A and B are shown apart, each in its own frame.
Chain A
Amino acid sequence: MSKRPTIAEHLKASGVSRRNFVQLCGMLIATAPVGLSLTSKKSVLQVAAAIGKIKRPSVIWLHFQDCTGCTETLLRTSAPDVAHLILDVISLDYHETLMAASGVQAEAALRSAIAENEGKFVLVVEGSIPMKEDGNYMQLGSKPAVQVLREVAAKSAAVIAIGSCASWGGVPSADPNPTGAVGVDSIITDKPVVNLPGCPPNPYNLLGVVLEYVTMGKLPALDDQGRPKFAYERVIHENCPRRAHFDAGRFATAFGDEGHRKGWCLYKLGCKGPVTHAACATRHFNEIADCWPIGAGIPCVGCTEKDVVWKLGTFETVPIHLATPPDNYPPIYSPIGGVSIGAAALVGAVAGGLGGATYVYSQRFTSSQEAGAERIEAGQAEKQLDKKSDRKEV
Chain B
Amino acid sequence: MSTATLSNVPFGGSKPPAADNKPRWERAVPVYGVSVITPIFLALAGLAVLSLFLTVYREVVGLGPASGMNDKFGWGIWKTFNVVVLTAWGSGAFAVGVFAWVFGRKRLFPLMRMALLTSMLAYACGLCLLGVDVGRPWNFYWVVLPWHWNIHSPMAEIAICMSVYASIPLFLENIPPILERLWHVNVSWQPAIERVEHALHKFFPIIAAAAYLLPAMHQSSLGALMLLAGQRVHPLWQTPFLPLLYVGAATFMSFGCVAGTTMLCCLIWKRAMDMEVLDEAARISAWTIFGWLAIRNLDLLFRGSLFTAFHFTRYAGIFWTETLLIAYGGWLLLQSLKTHKRQTMFVGYALSSLGGMLYRFSPTTLAYMPGPHTMYFPSAIEILIALGFASIGIAIFLVMVKLLAILPASNQEWRNMAAYYKARKPAISRNKYLGFFGHNELSLSDKKSH
Contact = CB atoms under 8 A, between A and B. Distances in A.
A and B touching (Cβ–Cβ under 8 A): yes
Interface of A: 333-340, 342-344, 346-347, 350, 358, 361-366, 368-369, 371-373, 375-380, 382-383, 391-394
Given A346-B383, A373-B21, 8 more contacts: A337-B73, A338-B377, A366-B342, A368-B267, A368-B270, A372-B271, A372-B272, A379-B416
B8 to A, nearest CB: 17
Given A337-B73, A365-B267, A373-B272, A379 B375 contact: no
B376 A343 contact: no
Interface stretch (B117-125, B162-170, B212-220, B343-351): B343-351
Given A343-B68, A343-B380, A347-B383, A376 B21 contact: yes
Given A375-B270, A376-B272, A394-B445, A383 B346 contact: no
A380 B416 CA distance: 9
Contacts of A365: 263, 267, 341-343, 346
B63 interface: no
B7 to A, nearest CB: 21
Nearest to B379: A343
A42 B196 CA distance: 81
Contacts of B264: 361
A393 B23 CA distance: 21
A379 B380 contact: no
Nearest to B350: A358
A191 B73 CA distance: 63
B445 A336 contact: no
Given A364-B267, A368-B270, A379-B415, A336 B70 contact: yes
Interface stretch (B172-180, B246-254, B312-320, B366-374): B366-374
A358 B343 CA distance: 11
A339 B270 contact: no
B377 A375 contact: no
B441 A393 contact: yes
Interface of B: 17, 21, 23, 68, 70-73, 263-264, 266-268, 270-273, 341-343, 346-347, 350, 371-380, 382-384, 387, 410, 412-413, 415-416, 418-419, 441-442, 444-445, 449
| 7 tightest A-B CB contacts, nearest first | A372-B272, A339-B377, A335-B373, A379-B412, A365-B343, A337-B375, A342-B380
A365 B68 CA distance: 39
Contacts of A369: 342
Contacts of B263: 365
12 contacts: A337-B70, A343-B380, A346-B383, A347-B378, A361-B267, A365-B267, A375-B271, A376-B21, A376-B410, A377-B21, A379-B413, A382-B419
A365 B412 CA distance: 23
A336 B71 CA distance: 8
A380 B73 contact: no
A346 B23 contact: no
Contacts of B17: 376
Contacts of A358: 350
Contact of B444 (A368, A372, A394): A394
A380 B377 CA distance: 56
A337 B159 CA distance: 28
Contacts of A373: 21, 23, 272
Contacts of B378: 343, 347
A346 to B, nearest CB: 5
Contact of B375 (A338, A343, A366, A375): A338
Contacts of A364: 267
